[in-house]
A and B are shown apart, each in its own frame.
Chain A
Amino acid sequence: MSAYAGGMERWSRVSFEDRMATVDFRVGTRAHITVDGDTCRGCTTKACVTACPANLFVPTSDGGIVFNYEQCFECGTCYLVCSNEGAITWTYPDGGDGVVFHRS
C-alpha cells in the first residue's frame, strides 16, 4: 500500500491488466525469454517476481516460476536482478516482434 496516507486519489486506479492493455505488443511465435524451472525452484529470493515492470514472472505452488513472454518491455531487469546464473535465458524478440512504444 501507499507510503502516503490520505492524499488525493481522484485519478482512477487501473488494474494491471488494463495498464498493460495500453501498450502495443506485437507478439511473436518464439518465446524470447525462457526460465529454467529447476533453478527457480531452488531460488529463495525470486527478485524477478516483484522487479519485472510487466509482472511477467509468476510463482507457482511448487515453488517454481512461470514466465509469460508476450507482454515484455524487453528491458533486461529480470536477468540483471536474477541471482542464479543461467536461470533466465534472454534474447531479443525476432525483428518486428515485441513491444512497440508510441508516446514514450
Chain B
Amino acid sequence: MPEATTPTVAPSRPSLATAGRPRDAVVDAPATPDFDLVVVGAGPAGAAAALVAARAGLRVCLLERGPFPGAKNMYGGVIYARILDDLIPNWWDEAPVQRWVTRRATVVLTESQALTIDFRSSAWGEPPYNGATAFRPDFDAWLAGKAEAAGATVVTSTTATGLLRDGAGHICGVRTDRPDGDLTARLVVACDGVNSFLAKQAGLYHHEDPKHFTLGAKEVLALPRDEVEKRFVLSGREGADFEIIGGTRGIPGGGFIYTNLDSIAIGVVLGLDGLRKAKVRPEELIADLKRHPMIAPLVDGAQLQEYSAHLIPEAGLEMMPELSTDGMLVAGDAAAMCLAAGIWLEGVNFAIGSGIAAGETAVEAVRRGDVSDHGLAGYRRRLESNFVLRDHTKLRRAPSLVMSERVQQRYPQLTCDLVEALFTVTNPEPKQGAFRAARHHAKRSGVRLRDLARDGWTALRTYG
C-alpha cells in the first residue's frame, strides 16, 4: 500500500450531527491503484458487489472491520434470497439456512388481545423456497466466501476510517486503521451499513433525522429442536415468522418472533424518536412481549443465548442519500435500502440487489475508464429497472403510514375490540350486527371515519 503523508482537509460539505467526523485525506492518485475496486463492508451488499466484480475480472478488495464477515450484523429475521438465483444457481443447496419459512403470521397485539392472520404454504418449503431464517454471521460469511472464491481479496479486522481523494477531489480509495493502511482504488463501493460514515463523509446524505431510524433489539432463546417444532407446529426444516404490530407501549414500531433450528428469536423494533421520548429500556419491551398471554407459552422456559441490537434505516425513499459521486457508489443499508413497509419487511435482498447493481456498474465504469459520477449513472438506472428502487418508489408512503399513531395504536385496539365484540356471545342480548359494532367501537377508539378513509386510501394506493 502506498504511504500517504499528505495533510487532511475538511470534508467538502459540512458534517452531519453525527460524530466520528472522519476527514478526507488528499493523496496523489497512483497510475496503478492497489485495486480496481475497494468494497467497504462484507455484509450482503458488499459481498454481492465484490462477487460480481471479481467474476468479471476486476481486482477487488473486500474490506471488513469485524474479525469475519457478518460478525457485526443482526436482523429481524428473514432472508428472501431469490435475487441469488442467477448469481449462485441452486444457492439453497449450500446456503447456511436455519429454517425455511412456511408459516407467516401477522399479529395485531393489544395488552390483552391478539388477532393473527396465520398463513402456511408447503410450496415455501421446497425449492426455490421463499423466506429463510439464518444466522447472519453464517450467511454473510458464506456469501463473502463466494466473493473470495471468485478472486476477491477479503481483508478482515480492518476499519475504513476515511476517504482518500485525489487533487481533483475525486474519491480514489479509503484510509484504514492498519499501519500504512491507505488502499487506493479506481472506485470505492461503500457498503458500510446503516451508520455509513463513508456516505456521510462523501456528502451524499444531506440531513439526518432520528425519525428515520428504528432500533432492533433481539434475544435468541435456546430451545430443543423438537420443542421448537411442537410449539410452532412445524416439521423438518419448516420455519415460522411472526411479525407483530402493537405491543410496544405506544412507541412506533413492532415486534417479531421467528424460529431457528434449535432456538427462537424474539425482538422489538422501536422508532428512535418514540424511544427517546418514552424513556423505556429496549429490553423491557422485549420482556413485555415475552409476558404477553399469546406469546408467553411460545417462549416459556427458553434460555437467553445471545442478546443483540442494531439500527434499521426505516424511512425508505424519504431518507435515501445520493447514490453515487465521483469515484464512489453506495449500496445496502448504507444507502438506506432496507424496506420497512408494514406487511413487507425486507432488507438482505435489497442489500444483495443493490450490491449486484453496484458490482455491474463498477465493471462497466472501470472498463470504460470513467468512474466519474456521470460514468456511474448506470447504477441508478439498474436500480430503477429492478425491484430495489421500484419497490421503494411504490412503497414510499408506507413507512410513515405504518409508523403513524393510528396504525400503531388506534387501529390495533379498534380491530381487536371489534373482533372481540363480534365473537363474544352476550345472551340474552341479541347480536348487535357488525356494522353497529364497528360504529360503536370506532367512536370509542377515537378513530374518525375521515382519517380511516384517508388511511385506507393511502394504503390502497401504496399496497394496491
Q: Chain A residues in contact with chain B, CB under 8 A?
A: 2-4, 7-14, 16, 18-20, 22-23, 26, 45, 47, 50-51, 53-55, 73-77, 79-81, 85-86, 88-96, 98-104
Contact = CB atoms under 8 A, between A and B. Distances in A.
B157 A95 contact: yes
Nearest to A78: B19
B213 interface: yes
A104 B249 contact: no
B305 interface: yes
Contact of B276 (A3, A10, A45, A90): A45
A29 to B, nearest CB: 13
8 contacts: A50-B280, A53-B283, A74-B72, A76-B311, A81-B276, A95-B65, A96-B156, A104-B308
B66 interface: yes
A80 B209 CA distance: 8
Nearest to B112: A4
Interface stretch (B100-108, B228-236, B292-300, B378-386): B292-300
A3 B409 CA distance: 14
Contact of B287 (A2, A23, A86): A2
Given A10-B300, A89-B20, A81 B306 contact: no
Given A2-B288, A104-B74, A92 B308 contact: no
A31 to B, nearest CB: 13
Given A75-B311, A81-B210, A96-B157, A104 B276 contact: no
Contact of A22 (B137, B158, B260, B307): B307
Given A75-B215, A101-B136, A103-B263, A51 B291 contact: no
A102 B135 contact: yes
A9 B112 CA distance: 15
- Grouping DSSP codes into helix (H, G, I), strand (E, B) and loop, the A interface class, with mixed when no group exceeds half, is loop
A23 B304 CA distance: 10
B65 A90 contact: no
Interface residues of B, number: 72
Interface string B295-324: 011011111111111110000000000000
Nearest to A47: B276
B146 interface: no
A12 B260 CA distance: 20
B199 interface: no
B19 A80 contact: no
B453 to A, nearest CB: 31
Given A7-B291, A45-B276, A79-B18, 17 more contacts: A4-B291, A7-B296, A12-B303, A22-B304, A23-B306, A47-B276, A51-B276, A51-B282, A53-B282, A53-B309, A77-B215, A92-B20, A101-B71, A101-B136, A102-B137, A103-B137, A103-B263
A23 B195 CA distance: 21
B20 A8 contact: no
Contacts, number: 179
Contacts of B278: 50
B20 A50 contact: no
Contacts of B19: 79, 86, 88-91
A75 B276 contact: no
Nearest to B309: A53
A101 B301 CA distance: 23
B67 A104 contact: no
B260 A103 contact: yes
B272 A8 contact: no
B70 to A, nearest CB: 7
Nearest to B67: A96
Given A8-B293, A11-B300, A55 B176 contact: no
B292 to A, nearest CB: 6
Contacts of B73: 101, 104
Nearest to A30: B177
B155 to A, nearest CB: 9
B306 A102 contact: yes
Given A96-B66, A102-B306, A8 B296 contact: yes
A90 B20 contact: yes
Given A22-B305, A53-B215, A95-B158, A101 B137 contact: yes
Contacts of B112: 4
B281 interface: yes
Nearest to B280: A50
A98 B176 contact: no
A33 B299 CA distance: 35
